[in-house]
Amino acid sequence: MSDLSNKHIVLGLSGGIACYKAAELCRALIKAGASVQVVMTEAAAQFITPVTLQALSNRPVYVSQWDGREPNNMAHINLSREADAIVVAPASADFMAKLLHGRADDLLSLMCLARPIQSVPLILAPAMNREMWQHPATQRNVTQLRADGAHVLDVGQGEQACGETGDGRMLEPEEILEDLVAFFQPKVLQGQHVLVTAGPTFEAIDPVRGITNLSSGKMGFAIARAAREAGAEVTLVAGPVHQATPRGVRRVDVRSALDMQAAVAQHVDQATVFVATAAVADWRLAQVATQKIKKDGSGQLPQLQFTENPDILAGVAQSERAQNGTLFCVGFAAESHDLLEHATAKRARKGVPLLVGNIGPATFGLDDNALLLVDAQGSQALPHASKLSLARQLVAEIARRRG
């Protein structure tokens, strides 16, 4: 199942240079499984042609409220009634000002005003020059549009087409897509604060070498994303990995197990859910060499002494907040065989209410996985699926257990 399958999106374009990004957004929505109906203002048609968007959406584009193609000549009614959401990207300063006043002198604003407000959400991706964005009139309009029920997305920051630099760029198409996918997810963790550890740790030997493992961090990042989609505040403590930060997630990068433990200690007091997916190194060097250990040609091997790393999860699980249920702890177990037996034993050893088992070698670095949830009641298999899909199912299970 694609993220937006069975969703019909009316994609509105108002006038702005970011219209060129709307073509990519249209493609991205369709790739994610949505059907897309494009509606443009006359100003938008100055920046990108309806022909381009018709070709990408595979549907005729609507620009005018006098378009006679609809049998009842009421495109604003018909198009808005079919939509699962209206997404205006770019939403110009002028268009937002217009919406605010309930004006309706072009098809797009007319359709936004005519939408069934309870069942068809309106999502706006603002795009404008930084001065226009910061202007009190625009900020006032954004506040009022939100109060009127519109979902106004963030703006991007950086170089602008006018040559200035600042806030006001339209989000990139993939960011808008991620926000839209999140928008449709059930908000089962609203009000919760989820702390996630992910990835491997790196234990230094000397300034240029270290010990690490093959954890990609993908499962933990998927859980952070799914928890955010479900409405939680999310802090993600990540070891050295090459994964993009999920939107809206606060990321804290760490290197060693001790760094990870310190970052967890710093954030765990605000958390109501702790999910430990990190593949924390079991041992670190007792003494890290301050200079590179040199091969001197004598054939003598370096004598490395190890010491055990703290068990971050077990430590958190013993805290008072975890013991009295204020903090719900979830552990992971990567095993190679006898998953149920090992996961059950690990749940008891770690002292956590929920332990999630997976077959490590079958999933390391991949985009899919299969999970076995073990709790006091027994076990439940989440069959083979993408890590994001499994993460969403796990989030739903956590939410159910949180009541």
d(CA 136, CA 286): 58
Smallest gap from residue 371 Cβ to ligand C5P (A): 13
Q: In one letter, which amino acid is 319?
A: S
Query: Which positions are annotated as active-site residues?
Result: 162
> HSE-up of 345 (CA within 13 Å, CB side)?
7
Q: Which is nearer to ligand C5P, 135 or 251 (CB)?
A: 251
C-beta of 195 vs 312, nearer to ligand C5P = 312
Rounded distance, CA 292 to CA 290, Å?
7
Least distance to ligand C5P from the beta carbon of 330, Å? 8
CB 315: neighbour CB atoms within 10 A?
Answer: 16
Sheet holding 378-386, edge to edge: 250-253, 233-238, 193-198, 273-276, 328-335, 354-359, 368-375, 378-386
CB closer to ligand C5P, 82 vs 269: 269
Token look-up 């958390």 returns 271
The conformational region for residue 347 under phi > 0 = left, psi -120 to 50 = alpha, else beta, is alpha
- Residues 208, 209, 210, 214, CA torsion sign: positive
Phi, psi of 164 (to 5 degrees): -85, 170
Which are the contacts of 107, defined by CB distance < 8 A and separation ≥ 6?
A: 39, 41, 62, 63, 64, 65, 67, 75, 76
Region at 217 (left for phi over 0; alpha for psi -120 to 50; beta for the rest): left
Report d(CA 157, CA 179) in Å as an integer. Answer: 17
**Where on the chain is the footprint of ligand C5P (CB under 6 A)?**
197, 257, 276-278, 280, 309, 311-313, 331-333, 350
Q: Assign residue 193 a region (left: φ > 0; alpha: ψ between -120 and 50; beta: otherwise).
A: beta
CB of 202 to ligand C5P, least distance (A): 14
Facing residues of 215 across strands?
none
CB of residue 329 to ligand C5P, shortest distance in Å: 9
Tell which residue, 26, 13, 24, has the closest CA to residue 59. 26
Q: What tokens appear for 7 in the block?
A: 């969703």
Mention every residue, 6+ apart, whose C-beta is less than 8 A from residue 255: 201, 202, 204, 239, 240
Largest CA distance in the chain: 91
Place of tokens 């439940």: 380
In angstroms, give the least distance from the CB of 174 to ligand C5P. Answer: 29
